[in-house]
Structure 1
Amino acid sequence: MAGGGASASSATGNAAGVRIVVAGDAKTGKSSLIVTAAAENFPTNVPPLLPPTRLPEDIYPDRIPVTIIDTSSSPQNRGRLVEELMKADAVVLTYACDRPETLDRLSTFWLPELRRLEVKVPVIVVGCMLDKRADQHPVSLEQVMSPIMQQFREIETCIECSALNHIQIPEVFYYAQKAVLHPTSPLFDQEQQVLKPRCVKALKRIFILCDHDRDGALSDAELNDFQVKCFNAPLQPSEIVGVKRVVQEKLREGVNDRGLTLTGFLFLHALFIEKGRLETTWTVLRKFGYNNKIRLRDDQLSLPMKSYPDQSVELTNEAMEFLRGIFFTYDVDCDGTLRTNELEDLFSTAPENPWNEPPYDCAAEKTALGGLSLDGFLSLWALMTLLDPIRSVENLIYIGYGGDSSSAIRVTRRRRLDRKKQQTDRTVYQCFVFGPKEAGKSALLNSFIGRPFVEEYVPDTDEHYAVNAVDQPGQGTKKTLVLREIPEEGVKKLLSRKDALAECDVAIFVHDSSCEPSWQKATEMLLDVASHGEATGYEVPCLIVAAKDDLDPYLTEIQDSTRVSQDMGIEAPIPISTKLGDFSNIFQRIISAAEHPHLSIPETAAGKSRKQYHRFVNRSLMFVSVGAAVAIVGLAAYRVYAARKNASSS
């Protein structure tokens, strides 16, 4: 594999090129460094602060524009300094070689200050005025800088220079530009001297994509295709032999009778990086769509997006079929379960397993073997697509989805239109679970994903999700239901947003049927949600859930619940007992309510009054319009009559 450069747009993501900010203590040679680099002459008179300086585009091989920003360390220019540092692609920190105190200031002030400001860009440490340091006091730069670089890993490299004697001036900004275009830290762990996990995963995916015959090795033809794709030039047969010989000498398993193995492919890239040829690996990564964080670039993810908040995003049938195939491919022991090691293998070409973090890590049902069933696997994909469609499609591509990214998801019709048409074509429904503390919300979510009932109450103020497939009796199909638990403390904050209910297909209100205050609080929440829906137009079907049916109900529970449900025009409360496993088909009933979005919508007294008022106004307008029409007809008839009378008299 030969090396090659990357274009400005693909490397930096910034058409303006690379912006390098030079900072450091006063009189450490910042301005002289910049002028000498740009003009190739040592300046006799240097202004206190230079304007932005553009280096000639042909000065470095990448031919990417480099703009250098001079800064002042004076207190009155503090705001400008911070502003420029925040916009930097790289920072050059200067010290004076003849003034050790300016070197000390790097670790006591400048580097900690960059961290405090969260300026997370490569740093080049530059010792200026090398000509002023006495020859009788030689200094080992590596010895001096090693402790600082150990403490501040953001330092990419250190260099000493002299503007007066033109020593290593172009190199300063070449290293800075190179650190932006071809950064080391995302690829290589300097301490361990190994490729970083995310880099390994990206290279593994690239290897698999280039291994067209799927035999676990890159043949000579496949290696040549790879070279042409990445570097626009073929490999000569002798070069292919040479590459494989280098690998085999160092790593026997890097080459087999079919060609270069994945182990050999990774070894080659580690070798390039160790030899300072990071541009080779970066060119490969960028040709396959990766950015500097070793994730797919945005331009690789062309997706249909929601236009309205009450639309949602679902996987298409094409994507679902792909995922079913992937499930059985990675279920290597054919036990109907993807266990932890099989899931890690599945996501071994993604930056990380996306389901190792909230809300996905605890959202789906685990099998008796501790893994995911097909339903659980597909349900987690449905949840990720609902909550973060871009990330979902990104991960589909990582694990091998070959179709156009826009073919993987679809945007559903607006919920408002679903209510008007009295039907929906969604396959994934989101249910908001409201209720006071200790009502049984968490127990309901846990039971939905097969977790055992826990007697002890554990307070929690975070939102949680549970997702599963729900059988449709008599239809032979399944729909995916997402339960989103809204903690009592979060209801007010949620409803402060106008579009709070836009993503909701059904809302349920869980109360402890043995506790009157629990019922009263749940009723208040129901009224608040109903009022919010009436005011914003995001009305949702609502169900009342009477939990803990294994306990004795409070005295007036039946009368209270009957009155409220009748007054608001919704179904009577559904009794359940998670302790006894008696759920009264609650999950099918939630799905049914979602499939009939025009029903089970509660009406408040204020809402009824508004409707009556609108009916009255509409009726009045109708009477007025009918009366006006009668009057017009009468006037026309009179005119005809008058005209005829005049005609006969004449």
Structure 2
Amino acid sequence: MALAVDSAGYSGSHPAVRILVAGDSYTGKSSLIASAAAESFPGNVPRVLPPTRLPADFFPDGVPVILIDTPPGLENGGKLKDELQRADAVVLTYACDQPITLMRLSSVWLPELRRLEVVKVPVVVVGCKLDLRDERDQTSLEEIMSPIMQNFREIETCVECSAATMIQVPEAFYYAQKAVLHPTSPLFDQENQCLRDRCARSLRRIFVLCDHDMDGALNDSELNEFQVKCFNAPLQPAEIAVVKRVVHEKIPAGVNQLGLTLTGFLYLHALFIEKGRVETTWAVLRKFGYDNDLKLRDDYLPVPSTRAPDQSVELTNEAVEFLSGVFRLFDADDDGALKPAELDELFCTAPESPWQEAPYKDAAESTARGDITLNAFLSQWALMTSQDPQCSLANLIYIGYGGDPASALRITRRRFMDRKKQRTERNVFQCFVFGPKSAGKSSLLNSLLGRSLSKTNTTTGECYAANVVEQLRGSKKTLILREIPEDGVKDVLLTKEFLAACDVAVFVYDSSNEKSWKRSRELLLEVARRGEESCYAVPCLLIAAKDDLDPNPVAVQDSVKVSQKLGIEAPIPLSTKSSDHNNILRRIVSAAEHPHLSIPETETGRNCKQYQQLVNRSLIFISIGAAVTVVGLAAYRAYAASRSNSN
């Protein structure tokens, strides 16, 4: 597309492009900068120029350029490194009349740039003093630079110029600016000569959005609408015919009787990039909201930024209905579960599948074949929404959510209000799982995911599990279990707002091990105290794991006493042999649904509460006494006034 458009322009935001000019002495660095700024060759050029600014209207993209000259050679390595770290691009010069300076690019300068770890910025190689080259040298630029560019992939392009005759002087810096504003690397794999995976996924989403009749091809009307949206200029019928012919000649599958296929659409963009028109593809991507990392820009993701620490984010009913529909659409064999291949296909228009890494990997229930049910699918979305609302919203849009993005998420009521009203409106509960090592925390998480408790392995890091829990009265809630490693408790509790995200905390211990119980008790008291201090107190439950083993008498007796003293429920038994794990999960959900109950009260907290009640009663008595005094004084004055009037 856009074959009728000469320049796509730049639609992003960049304050200025900072270009560092480096190279051997007497290769023409300063003359190149001075000629570009003056648009003519100046007579006398200083050895090193101060920073030179090219105005925003100097190049078509409308972004100013700052050119940084460097001292001769590499002697001042510290200053060079500082400037390189601030640069957006590097122009590396050699002199066309001095072949040794060209050889030193690959033997000295490019290795030095790599040593200074600046290969992430694009490099443009510029041959200066073209007018002084030996006329007998007929070697082409491509022949010279091809082996160097093979070894140093950071080189975007190369050009030869003459400051004295003003041949291709502006182009030298235009290519550098272009490499920054329209980088090739995120889009195209030069080594394999193909679109990068994330670029192809982004273009596939754009294709799907433009394929309004969903027939798998862009017809002439859809092609024209795409062209107008991206470039503000329509395509004439003859131009559309040329596009199709070009594609069909190279890729027959790129065009069918219905129009341009996805294969053809991707081929066109690869062709643009190969021909040096990478700005065309970037114009398309930016028009559809993508940033330089090929992810949706923040302005496309209206996630509420102001919310209290004890408020959470959930999907709205509208978003859940959309996801349920998407699940059914991609469940090709209609077996009520998505196979890994079907799930990959569902996320093929996202930058990558969001559930391949922690904390989402293995956090949902799956079958022996790795398939996930609708409940597991929705639970994964609930987990992602609670942990990273922006990521969740972005992926909703990637897979085709067409409603108002602001209507996909909702902010829950503050938990202290839930406690005050003695009920909650939340549909997703997050439970923190505390306990010593080998106590059975992982068993609890596995029970939520329907996995065997007897095959549980000990984990050392944070793990998550999410699934739907059906209550006895028929309501369904999503429960997220977050395992807190024992050795990380002290650090996380130093954060005042850590418990704000917790709806209920459970403390797991090995009921056959007195030491395990004592450590769990310590953790319970520590969390209870922290909750009282931070005003983020949460319901707490004790879980006596490994109940099928011989119970430890001290653990049994002391756990009951502690629960009674703190005012929470008696310990709940958990056994690998028990078949009714749902009972434990329901009780966890029930505790979260009643946020005013099961909150432990320590001796310190009880004393503070009694003191506050005493203060409040004293204030009430003082207020009543003051009110009586005021009323009595008013009555006396009225009486005195009436006596005075009667006399």
Q: TM-score, normalised by structure 1?
A: 0.92
Deviations 1:457-516 (A, max 9, x none): 53x331110000111221x33111110000001101100111111111111111111111
Whether 1:184 aligns to 2:221 is: no
Deviations 1:232-258 (A, max 9, x none): 222222222222122222222222111
Q: Is the deviation greater in 56-65 or in 435-444? A: 56-65
Task: State the shift of 1:412 in Å.
Answer: 1.2
Provide closer, same or farther for how the CA distance between residues 553 and 269 of structure 1 changes in structure 2, counting only shifts above 3 A: same
- Aligned twin of 2:613: 615
Maintained 8 Å contact 1:430/1:504: yes
Residue of structure 1 equivalent to 2:585: 587
Deviation, structure 1 residue 290 = 1.6
- For the residue of structure 2 that corresponds to 1:362, the secondary structure is coil
2:305 counterpart residue number: 305
Q: Residue 499 of structure 2 corresponds to which residue in structure 1?
A: 501
1:564 paired residue number: 562
2:221 paired residue number:
221
The CA distance in 1 between the partners of 2:586 and 2:163, in whole Å, is 77
Q: Distance in 1 between matches of 2:176 and 2:547?
A: 68
Cα pair distance change 1:318/1:647, threshold 3 Å: closer
SS at match of 1:431: strand
Corresponding residue to 1:527 among 525, 528, 546: 525
- Structure 1 position 352, deviation (Å): 0.8
Cα distance in 2, alignment partners of residues 571 and 324 from structure 1: 37
- What residue in structure 1 maps to residue 315 of structure 2? 315
Aligned to 1:202: 202
Call closer, same or farther: CA 1:599–1:183 in 2, change over 3 Å: same
Q: Where in structure 1 are there 5+ consecutive unaligned residues? A: none
Following the alignment from structure 2 to structure 1, what is the Cα–Cα distance between the partners of residues 71 and 418? 61
The 1:2/1:621 distance shift into structure 2, 3 A limit, reads: closer
Counterpart position of 2:65: 66
Q: Is the 8 A contact 1:381 1:392 kept in 2?
A: yes
Percent of pairs with identical residues: 63
Moved more, 270-279 or 73-82: 73-82
* Residue 434 (str. 1) matches residue 434 (str. 2): yes
Change beyond 3 A, Cα 1:465–1:115: farther
Give me the whole-angstrom Cα distance separating, in 1, the residues matched to 2:533 and 2:73: 56
CA distances 1:16-49 after superposition (whole Å, capped 9, x unpaired): 2433232345554322211111112333333354
Shift of 1:349: 1.0
Match of 2:417 in 1: 417
2:155 pairs with 1:164: no
Over 3 Å counting, the alpha-carbon distance change for 1:543 and 1:24 in structure 2 is farther
| CA distance, structure 2, for counterparts of residue 294 and residue 185 of structure 1 | 12
- In the TM superposition, 1:523-562 aligns within 5 A as 523-562=521-560
Q: Secondary structure at the match of 1:355?
A: coil
The answer on whether the counterparts of 2:446 and 2:456 sit within 8 Å (CA) in structure 1 is no
Residue by residue, what CA displacement relative to the aligned partner does 1:270-305 show, whole Å, maximum 9, x if unpaired? 222222222222222222222222222222222223
Counterparts of 1:578 and 1:621, CA distance in 2: 55
| Comparing 287-296 and 589-598, the one that deviates more | 287-296
Mapped contact 2:541–2:569 kept (Cα < 8 A):
yes
- The farther-off stretch of 285-294 and 25-34 is 25-34
Q: Structure 1 residues 611 and 74, CA, compared in 2 at 3 Å: closer, same or farther?
A: farther
Asked if the contact 2:84/2:118 (under 8 Å) is kept, the reply is no
Q: Which residue of 2 aligns with 1:88?
A: 87
CA shift, 1:210, in A, is 1.3
The C-alpha deviation readout for 1:437-462, integer Å capped at 9, x for no partner, is 0011112112211222345753x331
For structure 2, the residue ranges without an aligned partner over 5 or more in a row are none
Aligned to 2:625: 627
Contact (CA 8 Å) 1:86, 1:119: kept in 2 or not? no
**1:126/1:172 contact within 8 Å kept:** yes
Q: Paired residue for 2:598? A: 600
Counterparts in 2 of 1:425-464, with a 5 A limit?
425-455=425-455, 457-458=457-458, 460-464=459-463
Equivalent residue letter for 1:616: L
How does the TM-score come out when normalised to structure 2?
Answer: 0.93
* Corresponding residue of 2:394: 394
- Equivalent residue of 1:539, what SS? coil
Q: How does 1:38-57 map to 2 (within 5 A)?
A: 38-57=37-56
Q: Measure how far apart 1:395 and its partner are.
A: 0.9
- 1:405-454 per-position Cα deviation (integer Å, ceiling 9, x unaligned): 11111111112222222221111111000001001111211221122234
Return the alpha-carbon distance in structure 2 between the equivalents of residues 137 and 579 of structure 1: 86
Greater Cα offset, 368-377 or 506-515: 368-377
Displacement, 1:398?
0.9
- Match for 1:560: what amino acid? D
| Matched residue, 1:20 | 19
Give the distance between the partners of 1:446 and 1:54, measured in 2 at CA.
61
The aligned amino acid for 2:18 is: R
- Higher deviation after alignment, 99-108 or 206-215: 99-108
Q: 1:85 to 1:310 in 2, by over 3 A?
A: farther
The residue number in structure 1 matching 2:250 is 250
Q: Partners of 1:22 and 1:114 in 2: how far apart?
A: 16
CA distance in 1, matches of 2:321, 2:110: 54
Equivalent positions of 1:376-387 (< 5 A) are 376-387=376-387
Q: Secondary structure of the equivalent of 1:502? A: helix
Q: 1:446–1:452: 8 Å Cα contact kept in structure 2?
A: yes
Q: Which residue of 2 aligns with 1:32?
A: 31
- Cα deviation, 1:331-368, whole Å, max 9, x if unaligned, reads 00111111011011111111111111111111000024
When the two chains are superposed, the root-mean-square deviation of aligned CA atoms in Å is 2.6
Read off the aligned partner of 1:192 and give its amino acid letter.
N
Instruction: Say whether the 8 Å CA contact 1:305–1:411 is kept in structure 2.
Output: no
Residues in 1 aligned to 2:572 and 2:47: alpha-carbon distance in whole angstroms:
78
The structure-2 alpha-carbon separation of the partners of 1:147 and 1:581, relative to structure 1 and needing over 3 Å to count, comes to: farther
Asked if the contact 1:289–1:297 (Cα under 8 Å) also holds between the matched residues in 2, the reply is: yes
Structure 2 SS opposite 1:509: strand
Moved more, 623-632 or 186-195: 623-632
Are the equivalent residues in 1 in contact too, given 2:442–2:457 (CA < 8 A)?
no
Distance 1:58 1:625 in 2: 73
Contact 1:439 1:511 in 2 (8 A): yes
- Return closer, same or farther for 1:598/1:32 CA change in 2, 3 Å cut-off: same
CA separation in 1, counterparts of 2:142 and 2:214?
47
Q: How many residues align?
A: 644
> Does structure 1 conserve the Cα–Cα contact (< 8 Å) formed by 2:27 and 2:101?
no
Between 1:283-292 and 1:633-642, the stretch displaced more is 633-642
Deviates more, 1:387-396 or 1:43-52: 43-52
**CA–CA separation in structure 2 for the residues paired with 1:364 and 1:107:** 53
